[in-house]
Homo-oligomer: A and B are copies of this chain.
Amino acid sequence: MDRCAIGIDLGGTKISGVIMEKDGASRHLTRIPTGADKGGGTVLENILRVIDEVIRKEGAKEHILGVGIGTPGFVDKDGLVLGGAENLPGFKGTRLFEPIRERFGLRATAANDVTATALAELRFGAGRGVRNMVCLALGTGIGGGVVIDNRVYKGTHGMAGELGHISIDFNGLQCTCGRRGCVEQYASGTGIVRNAKLICFEASEYENTPFVEAVVRNPDALTGKIVYDYVEAGDRIALNVHKFVCDSLAKAIGIILNSFAPDRIVLGGAIMKSGRTITDTVEEFIPKYCWPEIWERCDLVVAQCGENAGVLGAGAMVFDEME
């Protein structure tokens, strides 16, 4: 039987796992709730349950090289969770690798979830063919993943690539990380919704577009998807929100370009369902914020791996590090 990996994607609401082959083919996709509210011990137990389940479905484990885990926040090379995962209270301090070794006799590796996603895009998606790549996942927050010379760059302690916390305005909006002006306060789903409300309430004093009316009528119902429905419909104020979002993203991407000079930047996450609407506008703003020589040699593209990117990237780490 061909050598396989187990890929685990730990999210704030669910844990996913697969058996994966080196070419990215996967089977036995298993999903259970994370149980984040029950604390770190329960989360770890649930990770072990998913591993147990995919091995059971596979019916054998002798051909399994190891387990790769993508997790929110920071996890070091020994599998110790160092922090940064605000959606998993009590998870900091968890040791991920020992229980996997003890219970299944398998080695494990781990990385931040978006770092794993970046590897999936590199091997199987929008990053194929390049050596240096940066991935931004625009979801509830903004995560980052960095590929250097065809390998994921985790940093010595697994903390590299916190690109959602690049400050684009040091006097700007307060961020959940404690600092100010982080790009995720402007261009994540949460940030887009909050800023859209501000812009709509201000606009409502002089102009009432359908978007403004809908937001003012029921601000609590607003989502990133609704914002982008109105953007696609050409609503003038929604387009203002869109430009503000894309300008904010372009500022962070300008800093990323000047720092990493990657061959490609991949934008993924739920917000990127609006795909080229976003990348096209971001591209208009980028030249204001970086060296033209660098930007001329970089592509900005939409992620391709979809919601399975996390498990595939986690599995790909196993082949990269254990084969």
Number of interface residues of A (CB under 8 A): 45
Tell me how far the C-beta of A198 lies from the nearest C-beta in chain B, rounded to whole angstroms.
19
Complex Cα distance A131/B154, Å?
Answer: 12
Cβ contact within 8 Å between B177 and A155: no
Please choose the segment from A98-106, A236-244, A248-256 that sits at the chain B interface, where 4 or more of its residues have CB less than 8 A away: A248-256
Collect the chain B residues with CB atoms within 8 Å of residue A155's CB: 132, 260-262, 294
Secondary structure type dominating chain A contacts: loop
A179 close to chain B: CB less than 8 A: yes
Complex Cα distance A294/B74, Å?
Answer: 9
Cβ contact within 8 Å between B261 and A179: no
Whose C-beta in chain B lies nearest to the C-beta of A157?
B297
Collect the chain B residues with CB atoms within 8 Å of residue A256's CB: 259
Collect the chain B residues with CB atoms within 8 Å of residue A168's CB: 170
Cβ contact within 8 Å between B160 and A261: yes
Other-chain residue from B82, B161, B254 in contact with A259 (beta carbon distance below 8 A) = B161
Collect the chain B residues with CB atoms within 8 Å of residue A156's CB: 130-132, 261-263, 297
Cβ contact within 8 Å between A170 and B259: no
Cβ contact within 8 Å between B179 and A290: yes
Other-chain residue from B130, B161, B291 in contact with A159 (beta carbon distance below 8 A) = B291
Contacts A155-B132, A167-B254, A179-B288 known; A293 to B74 CB distance under 8 Å?
yes
Which residues in chain A, 151-184, are within 8 Å of chain B measured between CB atoms? Answer: 153, 155-157, 159-163, 165-170, 177, 179
Complex Cα distance A59/B230, Å?
Answer: 74
Collect the chain B residues with CB atoms within 8 Å of residue A131's CB: 156
Complex Cα distance A304/B307, Å?
Answer: 48
Other-chain residue from B153, B167, B259 in contact with A289 (beta carbon distance below 8 A) = B167
A258 close to chain B: CB less than 8 A: yes
Which residues in chain A, 283-310, are within 8 Å of chain B measured between CB atoms? Answer: 288-291, 293-294, 297
